[in-house]
Amino acid sequence: MLNEKQFRERAKVELRHVGKQVASLATDRDIYWKLERDVIAQNPKLQNTEAFIDMVRGAYADAMVLRALHLLDSEGGESSLRRVLAQLADYPQLLHDKASDREFSDDRAALEQAAAKLKGLHGTHFAHHERTPAALAAHHAAIDQAIDAMTSTLKTYYWVIAEGHLDLDTKYAGDPLTIFRFAWIAPQ
């Protein structure tokens, strides 16, 4: 077993690594909903472009479920938020005055619940008619719950372990919807 200082150092690195991946998930979620809200919902021609839009919706749901589940359920040498929290239980003095036993237990349970929901959705394959927003609502809810639980838990336990702030805000290098501001195919 590592001493407290060794655990803190290793856990900080792992939480930062997981944090980058969770921030990436949150950014992708934000871009997806901008696409749905600001492009597809505002353009009646796109609302009836079933094959392409439905493919994008299905690909988003599949990819996000897998990525979130990977972060929640990694084993071995991979970074895992759940594993760091399981190890943190061996260092209860770190929680002192920062998180109660009840809060720690509730946070871990929220991650377990999010992972269980995602596992239940994992491997679901969508037929063409099942890629509508209504059909994907359960997937979207599970994805959102997992990302929100990971974000909240990461911020809390990075503060507990590293006594610092972990920035998980959604960031863009530019306007993610710029690609929709010009015609893709030149008129013939």
Q: Give, in order, the Cα–Cα distances in Å from 70 to each of 115, 119, 177, 181.
A: 9, 10, 28, 34
Give residue 22's pLDDT. 95
Does 139 map to a domain?
A: yes
Give residue 124's pLDDT. 64
Give residue 77's pLDDT. 55
Give the whole-angstrom CA distance, residue 61 versus residue 136. 7
Which residues, given as ranges, of the chain have pLDDT below 50?
A: none
* Residue 13: partners with Cβ closer than 8 Å, 6 or more residues away: none
Give residue 55's pLDDT. 85
Residue 37 structural domain: 4-164
Give residue 128's pLDDT. 54
Give residue 6's pLDDT. 93
Does 186 map to a domain?
A: no
Give residue 104's pLDDT. 95
Give the whole-angstrom CA distance, residue 35 versus residue 119. 26
Give residue 122's pLDDT. 74
The pTM of this model reads 0.87
Give residue 96's pLDDT. 84
For the chain, what is the domain count? 1
Give residue 90's pLDDT. 93
Does 178 map to a domain?
A: no
Give the whole-angstrom CA distance, residue 122 versus residue 62. 8
Neighbours of 19 (CB within 10 A): 20
Of 133, 118, 123, 124, the residue nearest 56 (C-alpha): 133
Give residue 134's pLDDT. 76
Give the whole-angstrom CA distance, residue 62 versus residue 155. 26
Does 30 map to a domain?
A: yes
Does 96 map to a domain?
A: yes
Give residue 120's pLDDT. 86
Does 169 map to a domain?
A: no
